[in-house]
Amino acid sequence: METVTLTGLLKKAAAQFPLRRAVSVAGNFDLTHAQFQQLVDHAASLLVASGIGSGDVVALTFPNTVEFVIMFLAVIRCRATAAPLNPAYTAEEFEFYLSDSKSKLLLVPAEGIKPAQAAASKLSIPHVSAALHDGTSKIILSSNPESNLDSVNQLVNDPADISLFLHTSGTTSRPKGVPLTQLNLATSVLNIKSVYKLTESDSTVIVLPLFHVHGLLAGFLSSLLSGAAVTLPAAGRFSASTFWTDMIKYNATWYTAVPTIHQIILDRHESKPEPSYPKLRFIRSCSASLAPSILARLEAAFGASVLEAYAMTEASHLMASNPLPECGPHKPGSVGKPVGQEMAILNEKGEFQPAGAEGEVCIRGLNVTKGYKNNPEANKTAFLFGWFHTGDVGFLDSDGYLHLVGRIKELINRGGEKISPIEVDAVLLAHPDLAQAVSFGVPDEKYGEEINCAVIPKEGVSLKEEEVLQYCKKNLASFKVPKKVFITDSVPKTATGKIQRRIVAEHFLAQISAAKVPKFGA
């Protein structure tokens, strides 16, 4: 296993399924596995001709386009490191990420990404655009280097090559750089393929941004590795209005998304249902806790089992998942069993906890990064005694299923009572008139911390704070009932649609503080 590379696995799949559809640009063109591999090799030859080699970092900022996936794989085929960046970043954010990753080159779409290009120019980093005009042409780089496939054919990828460099979201501190090797990525996509039994008969539509491990590994690379097919939305991003059209047209058998996207898909279904839906093998949910009420609605609406999973960037995405129905029971409230690595629950003293006892979730395996880049302080606490400490609190039940309680830093300590915000969220989301909800801790003079929550009513519904509080009082122990409810039409989210409690808490606490400031002349 330790000699496996992602590029080697993808070449093997292309050779095994050369004529099967690999990548489609919705409503535009299709590429077979053989065609796609040829495009990657050609693009890699252009990068080699541009001076990109082993260990160089190449930043990429694209929507979910075919140019991105080709150039991403071309970069790692050169034994270089790909550093995907969110196209929505500001120039200042691009400057930080380009500088922190020590990028040698920036790749952008033909239309450009002005803030990224401005940041690259400021740092004296060359930027080059990439374009693929149709399914019969090849990638064209604006720098117009000469192609020599022999230069690529002579390259041998190594399992230790750093292929992907990502940053954590950095909600509590400066974003941490996560280097992932060919072996890390290969291990993870093999784990994903195995647990979901992906084959060449499968097909999916990409929902999540490909600059994040969830979309890139779970949606795209695991499919490619399996000889399966992937469809990229025509607009380069998720659209609820075209999602099911693409799913039906391209015979999708599954999809993966974060809870926020699942809720959008459900809302669309309830307001504008499709005449028919494809027969799905399963629906996957990951990157945040999925409330049991949302899971039940998804299964009822689309007639497929919803499999919750648990993942982190540091683990090259997948760590645990509920099994397919034919492989074992799904446990509501659980994120499933460990997949492809060891998992332990440790207490504050670093001692192993028995089944049912809570502690920090820790993992180790070939999919896990060996440490953050240039961050010795974070490495001291996150990587101890051969285990990666996730910062999540949970427990393993007697059947080996993992149940998450919350982030260590997000657990609410109300007068000594430790409250899981995930539990409060689940109750709120079971309210028939609420579309989204998130609970969080706020400072309190009496209890140390109190519970607040922000809720978004369903479209056309008018709710008052007291109604939500009354509902909570009926369904939660008194000490778990939020002290204040913010009724809003939106909450801050990450680029992948994930709601982060710390950001939400800061957002609404700032509103309270602003309201308390006396107006001029008052």
- Over residues 396-428, the pLDDT tens digits come to 999 999 999 988 888 898 987 889 899 999 999
> What average pLDDT does the segment 95-121 reach?
97
Once rounded to an integer, what is the mean pLDDT over residues 438-465? 92
Q: Give every CB contact of residue 174 below 8 A, 6+ residues apart in sequence.
A: none
Question: Would the pLDDT of 520 be above 50?
Answer: no
Q: List the one residue out of 182, 138, 178 whose CA is nearest residue 1.
A: 182
Per-residue model confidence (pLDDT) at position 519: 43
| CA-based nearest residue to 258, from 278, 273, 233, 238 | 238
pLDDT digits (tens, 9 = 90+) for 132-148: 999 899 999 999 998 89
Average pLDDT, the chain: 93
The verdict on domain 412-516 having CATH code 3.40.190.290 is no
Residue 326, pLDDT > 90, answer: yes
pLDDT of 522? 36
Tell whether the model's pLDDT for residue 346 goes beyond 90: yes
Task: Select from 438, 455, 446, 416 the least CA-distant residue to 499.
Answer: 438
Percent of the chain with pLDDT over 70: 97
Q: Where are the domains of the chain?
A: 6-393, 412-516
Whether the model pTM is above 0.75? yes
Contacts of 56 (CB under 8 A, 6+ apart): 78, 80, 81, 104, 105
The per-residue pLDDT for 1 is 61
- Evaluate if residue 518 carries a pLDDT over 60: no
Taking the C-alpha atoms of residue 247 and residue 243, their distance in angstroms, rounded to an integer, is 6
70 vs 130, 132, 184, 269, 443, CA distance in Å? Answer: 10, 9, 20, 33, 48
pLDDT tens digits along 211-242: 999 999 999 999 999 999 999 999 999 999 99
Per-residue pLDDT band at 516 (split at 50, 70, 90): low
381 pLDDT more than 70: yes
User: At 492, is the pLDDT very low, low, confident or very high (cuts 50, 70, 90)?
Assistant: confident
Residue 171 has pLDDT above 50, yes or no: no
The class (CATH top level) of 6-393 is alpha beta
Cα 385 to Cα 353: distance, rounded to the nearest angstrom: 16
